């Protein structure tokens, strides 16, 4: 039997996924949370996990270097990768939202300056509303942009709401809910169907 390679977004999502597999007796003998190693195997189940940057999970899976992947729906939406989204893993819940300073006034028809780590998600959302925007791509600390005058609004993920609150911003629109997703390469999904189905069933039971 061939190995199934699973790309995991380094950090909390990876740890949760491994825990779900452990709950089903699938362990990775030399894995521990502080290890700097990037690849681990379970020889009996023929499962190999690889640790990649969250924003790289989709490309590993789309190109078939990984058969499966676990990543946040936010990063999945932004990637626009051609793959199957096979399961909502139910953890890592937060939401995509548009936020602005408390006194922000939206003038209909005016081009909105949107700062975000998610330019594709931002464009798609405002396009569907028929609102013209200018997207300013940032890599972090997005909440600063409206305060400093770089943008009118931000599109970002909100988990506890603490970052918005401490920076005087409020949610003006919710875009959608976000959580961890299991994704599959379209070819692997057919060629390794039995093995992949067993892994999915295991993750479902491991989540219970
Ligand atoms: C994320 C996100 C928000 C914050 C939301 O940023 O972009 O800034 O977390 O969480 P909260 O609602 O619980 O406050 P991250 O911590 O990844 O830092 P970054 O801004 O440097 O990307």
208 residues of the chain, pLDDT tens digit each:
899 999 999 889 999 999 999 998 899 988 988 889 999 999 999 999 999 999 999 999 999 999 999 999 999 999 999 999 999 999 999 999 999 999 999 988 899 999 999 999 999 999 999 999 999 999 999 999 999 999 999 999 999 999 999 999 999 999 999 999 999 999 999 999 999 999 999 988 877 6
Considering the chain, tell me which residue range(s) the CATH 3.40.190.10 domain(s) occupy: 4-92+179-207, 94-177
User: Of 101, 117, 78, nearest to 153 (Cα)?
Assistant: 101
Please report the pLDDT score of residue 90 as a whole number. 92
Ligand 1 atom closest to the Cα of residue 158 is 12
Please report the pLDDT score of residue 34 as a whole number. 86
CB of 93 sitting under 6 A from ligand 1 = no
At which residue do the structure tokens 């997703």 appear? 181
Please report the pLDDT score of residue 206 as a whole number. 74
User: Of 149, 155, 161, nearest to 135 (Cα)?
Assistant: 155
CB of 162 sitting under 6 A from ligand 1 = yes
CB of 158 sitting under 6 A from ligand 1 = yes
Q: Which CATH class is domain 94-177?
A: alpha beta
How far, in Å, is the centroid of ligand 1 from the Cα of 37? Answer: 26
CB of 163 sitting under 6 A from ligand 1 = yes
Answer yes or no: are the C-beta atoms of 71 and 54 closer than 8 Å: yes
Ligand 1 atom closest to the Cα of residue 164 is 14
How far, in Å, is the centroid of ligand 1 from the Cα of 151? Answer: 17
Cβ within 8 Å of residue 48, ≥6 positions away? 3, 4, 5, 6, 39, 40, 41, 42
Please report the pLDDT score of residue 205 as a whole number. 86
Please report the pLDDT score of residue 199 as a whole number. 94
Query: Mind giving me the DSSP string for 16-70?
Result: HHHHHHHTTT---TT--TT----EEEETTTTEEEEEE-GGGHHHHHHTTSSSEEE
Please report the pLDDT score of residue 109 as a whole number. 83
CB of 140 sitting under 6 A from ligand 1 = yes
Distance CA 68, CA 17 (A): 12
Q: Report residue 111: phi and psi, to 5°.
A: -65, 130
Token reading at 162: 């603490």
Residue with CA nearest ligand 1 atom 15: 140
Ligand 1 atom closest to the Cα of residue 162 is 14
Q: Which CATH architecture has domain 4-92+179-207?
A: 3-Layer(aba) Sandwich (3.40)
Please report the pLDDT score of residue 22 as a whole number. 92
Distance CA 72, CA 85 (A): 11
Q: What global pTM score does this model have?
A: 0.93
């Amino acid at each position: 039997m061939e190995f199934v390679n699973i790309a995991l977004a380094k950090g909390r999502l990876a740890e949760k996924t491994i825990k779900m597999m452990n709950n089903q007796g699938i362990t990775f003998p030399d894995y521990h949370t502080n290890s700097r190693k990037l690849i681990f195997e379970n020889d009996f189940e023929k499962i190999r996990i690889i640790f990649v940057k969250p924003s790289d999970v989709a490309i590993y899976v789309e190109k078939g270097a990984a058969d499966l992947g676990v990543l946040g729906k936010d990063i999945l939406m932004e990637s626009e990768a051609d793959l199957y989204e096979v399961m909502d893993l139910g953890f890592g819940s937060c939401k995509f939202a548009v936020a602005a300073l408390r006194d922000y006034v939206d003038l209909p028809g005016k081009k909105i300056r949107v700062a975000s780590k998610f330019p594709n998600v931002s464009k798609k959302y405002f396009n569907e509303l028929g609102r013209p925007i200018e997207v300013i791509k940032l890599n972090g600390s997005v909440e600063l942009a409206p305060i400093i005058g770089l943008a009118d609004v931000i599109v970002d993920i909100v988990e506890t709401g603490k970052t918005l609150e401490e920076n005087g911003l409020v949610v003006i629109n919710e875009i959608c809910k976000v959580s961890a997703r299991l994704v599959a390469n379209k070819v692997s999904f057919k060629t390794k169907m039995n093995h992949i189905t067993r892994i999915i069933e295991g993750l479902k039971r491991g989540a219970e």
